[in-house]
Chains A and B, each alone.
Chain A
Amino acid sequence: MKQTTGNSAAVVLTAVVKTFGRTGRSIRAVDGIDLSIGRGETVALLGRNGAGKSTTIGLLLGLDGPDSGSVRVLGRTAEQAVRAGLVGAMLQDGRPIQRVTVRELITFVASTYPQPMPVAEALSLAGVTAYANRRIDKLSGGQTQRVRFAVALAGNPELIVLDEPTAALDVEARRTFWDSMRAYARRGNTVLFSTHHLEEADENADRIVVIDRGRIVADGTGDTIRGAAGSSLVSFDLAGRPTEGLELLPGVVTVEVSGDRALLHTDDSDATVIELARLGAIRDLRVSRATLEDAFLALTAPAAAAPATDSERETV
């Protein structure tokens, strides 16, 4: 696709704030997000339910306008980018409309874009060719989901946005879906998808952006995210010992207490363990590599506040 704007970023959000509700009882669904996504990247927006993922997506599709800050998509406003046919989207709660076949729907959607891919190609890329002539309101949940994916890519858009694309899919359907998605990304397109499944984000994205309470709390590859909350996990039985000061031990990034057991996320497990041994706190001591899930939970724990930075580490 010809690039006329000279801007290499696919998506640029600058200090974006979006508040819902009336004055007094309003919710800051998006609370100052800065995000830049380059062309050709595959990015996962990872967060719990209600973290602000869908709102962010609504903003960059132009469905809502930000209260403050700016949203640029492929060098234009979100609405202009959509109107120019540069964006395709699979929205979160799209259900099938009645009395129309898969092929009819895809043919229509493709016709609204300036340079669509051939309908047969869209059908095959999304894996819906086998039931192209069936009515979409007669399909199973997994089949419907793939039809919605076909809708998103029918126009051959440069940027494709998928809001929780695999919600309500079984394991097999998920795998097929991600194969299709990666095939589309390999064509040089930019893909942004939201999920609350860590493995999906880790396996299918080049980059993971973790959102919590309307803010970005981590941004990088799966390994970076693991590191952000300490790359190892050291745990031991407290045996009635107080927890104060644990966060000050060498290497420790965050501390969680679960029952009578302390979990230390640490950058340097050797130093942490040596110090614990010196203190005699080694009952049932275990050292393990932090999983992405551990990191995610540490980053988005209910008590976690501001983004974790070097100067300001969150502790319990």
Chain B
Amino acid sequence: MFRYIVLEVRRTLRDGFFLIFGTGMPVMMYLLFTNIGGGEGVDGWKTASMVGMAAYGALGSAMSIGTGVASDKTLGWLQQLRVTPLAPSQAVVGRAISGSVTVLPTILTVLSAGGLLNGVRLDAWQWIALALLLWIGALPFTLLGLGNGYRLTPQGTGVVNVACLMGFAIVGGLWFPLDLLPEWLRSIGRFTPANRFADLGWATTDGHAPGAGTIAVLCAWLLLFGVYAVISYRRSARTV
């Protein structure tokens, strides 16, 4: 599996266009949103927006790995992979781990922009914890993106990924606070993956560890999306 990770990381790092756009877009959006308008209470907004945009960027690049997988499928690569001894679970986990190399730079560039350009001040441990938690917390979304990619065409994967991302962002309160949603949706919202994922970041900037409930909910989603990805991978090799 290690060799598989190496192979896929190499392929990703050689795709300059993908890297620049994947990591560049969230930073641009962050700087744009925090420097247009401005006004009172700017400092709090810059920190919250930094976490939000790093989280959103992390989700976006995590899920976009699915598009790459879908085009590998059209090349027959997934079938070829299936006739090697690499087990489906290893193939999926390996691809998810190799995929996270694009997630980390996205998080780091947004956090650097926050710290260096927007003057966000956090303790050293908070910076480190924030980067690591967002990086690891993005794994369920990587698996969801992979599952879609194994199952759908490249175009289909793109559309479904965007729909998933927006749905999770809205229901999870990434775009506007959960308090604005109706009561019934609010109670569901707290169990959605994007909400718990962002909670990792909010807890860190508030200066405390994420709750056990948050971690349990994220682990449940990790398991669910992981199973989905493995099943999709196994189906992807069928000839008709």
Contact = CB atoms under 8 A, between A and B. Distances in A.
Contacts of B72: 97
A54 interface: yes
Given A97-B72, A104-B7, A91 B238 contact: no
A46 B143 CA distance: 41
Contact of B239 (A54, A87, A96, A97): A54
Contacts of B83: 61-63, 82, 87-89, 91
Contacts of A85: 85
Interface residues of B, number: 24
B69 to A, nearest CB: 11
A93 B76 contact: yes
B34 interface: no
Contact of A20 (B6, B10, B240): B240
Interface in A107-147: 107-109, 111-114
B85 A112 contact: yes
Contact of B79 (A88, A94, A99, A155): A94
Nearest to B236: A63
B87 interface: yes
A259 B108 CA distance: 77
A113 to B, nearest CB: 6
Interface in A270-293: none
Contacts of A89: 80, 83
A239 interface: no
B3 A97 contact: no
Interface in A7-26: 20
A243 B103 CA distance: 75
Interface string B215-240: 00000000000000000000001111
Contacts, number: 77
Most buried by B among A84, A88, A91, A114: A91
Interface in A159-177: none
A83 B85 contact: yes
B11 A97 contact: yes
Interface in A288-312: none
Contact of A108 (B7, B79, B87, B239): B7
B238 A83 contact: no
Contacts of B10: 99-100, 104
B3 A111 contact: yes
A94 B7 contact: no
Contact of B11 (A83, A91, A100): A100
Contact of A109 (B14, B75, B84, B239): B84
Contact of A112 (B14, B86, B239): B86
B93 to A, nearest CB: 14
Nearest to B82: A63
A77 B99 CA distance: 32
Most buried by A among B14, B77, B80, B82: B80
A94 B82 contact: no
A42 B56 CA distance: 55
A91 B85 contact: no
Given A58-B239, A93-B76, A151-B80, A99 B11 contact: yes
Nearest to A65: B238
B168 interface: no
A95 B11 contact: no
A151 B75 CA distance: 15
A223 interface: no
A208 to B, nearest CB: 23
A189 interface: no
A97 B3 CA distance: 16
9 contacts: A64-B238, A82-B85, A83-B85, A91-B80, A94-B75, A99-B14, A100-B11, A104-B7, A107-B3
Interface of B: 3-4, 6-7, 10-11, 14-15, 72, 75-77, 79-80, 82-87, 237-240
Given A61-B82, A91-B76, 13 more contacts: A55-B239, A62-B83, A82-B82, A83-B85, A87-B83, A88-B83, A94-B76, A98-B15, A99-B15, A100-B10, A108-B3, A108-B7, A114-B85
